[in-house]
Amino acid sequence: MRRLEKTTTLGLLSTLLMGAAVFACGPGVAEAHRPWNDSGHYHQPQPIPAQEVSIGLESADGGVIQTFWHDGSLYVAGQNGGRYNLRVTNNTGERVEAVVTVDGRDVVSGQLGNYKTQRGYVIEPHGSVAIEGFRQSLEQVAAFRFTDIGNSYSARRGSPQHVGVIGVAVFKEHQPRFRPRPPPPVPIATRPYYEPYGGDAGGYDYKRSESGNAPAADAGPAPSTAPSAGAARTKSAYDYDDQVANERSIAPPRSNRLGTEYGETTYSSVREVTFTRKHSRRPDSLLTVYYDSLDGLRARGVPVDPVYYPPPAYPPQPFPDNNGRNNQYAPPPPPRRY
């Protein structure tokens, strides 16, 4: 079947204020919403800065999960058995589609991640969605829980080498260019040759003639609606014979100590919406987050432990170096170690 240049998918739109989600191919009852303010017991998790969207990990009750920056990447410290949600926030003024993977597995289909063919969550302008687990239906998900590698969903599906990473591919929406027709030219009203310049001779009233004979202005054409989007082709249940070749990777297993479990079933309703990607096979941005236990991050060299400075044995001095003369300016400090 010939593939169209502009791919149209059906997106899931979350309708629950808590733990709801939206995705670019699935119906339900959940709406994307603006992020909550930091009031009460809810604390916004530390997000990943991005031009189009931000992603953060939060606990099931909305608490912050500890994160660390290291060598230009963001690392999350998980705890075995702890449940977490993914909070994806749209920072733009237009809808976007976010195709999300956990441990290399698409959170909607459970297949190996492929943003070219798999659907994602549709997020309203300046809104956010909480992705709570691997989607089982339009009404339920299997909760995200940190677990050991052997019990992780990806390892049990045959791809343990991808455990420990979360990815988001962001697609902007195709905006058709409307070219409104120019308004019809206004006829030029000319003075009749027999009208005297005085305006009242001969009984002819020019103003009354102009108002009575001038054609009414034509209303401009109504803008055409966006082209209707066809339903996207979706894959059925997992077929081991068709996927076994893709399940095995030539990459060696990583030393990650924590994975994500296919947890208990929880309610998270979504609905299908149509979404046409601006670029059908190329995301507008890609986000990557790595996670592991504190011991695993420490083994990778991530500075998870604060540097301890012993208290001075003498009182601090306001002018420690009072000798010599220095006319230079204050240089920047070295990079922070924690």
H or E segment and range at residue 155: helix 153-156
Token look-up 């993914």 returns 86
Q: Tens digits of per-residue pLDDT, 259-277?
A: 999 999 999 999 999 999 9
Cα 131 from Cα 153, distance rounded (Å): 16
What letter would DSSP give residue 113? Answer: P
> 9: pLDDT confidence band, cut at 50, 70 and 90?
low
**Lowest mean pLDDT across 86-100, 280-294, 313-327:** 313-327
Give the per-residue pLDDT at 223. Answer: 45
Cα 331 from Cα 288, distance rounded (Å): 34
- For residue 295, the SS3 value is helix
Give the contacts of 241 (CB within 8 A, at least 6 positions apart). Answer: none
Which carries the bigger pLDDT value, residue 14 or residue 54?
54
Measured CA angle at 121 (ends 116, 122), to 5 deg: 105
Q: Is 229 exposed, middle or buried (0-12, 13-18, 19+ CB in 10 A)?
A: middle
> Does the pLDDT at position 12 exceed 50?
yes
Give the per-residue pLDDT at 173. Answer: 93
Average pLDDT, the chain: 74
Q: Indicate yes or no: pTM above 0.95.
A: no
**How many CA within 13 A on the CB side of residue 91?**
12
Average pLDDT value for residue range 108-120: 94
Is 125 within 8 Å of 135 (Cβ atoms)? no
What letter would DSSP give residue 162? Answer: G
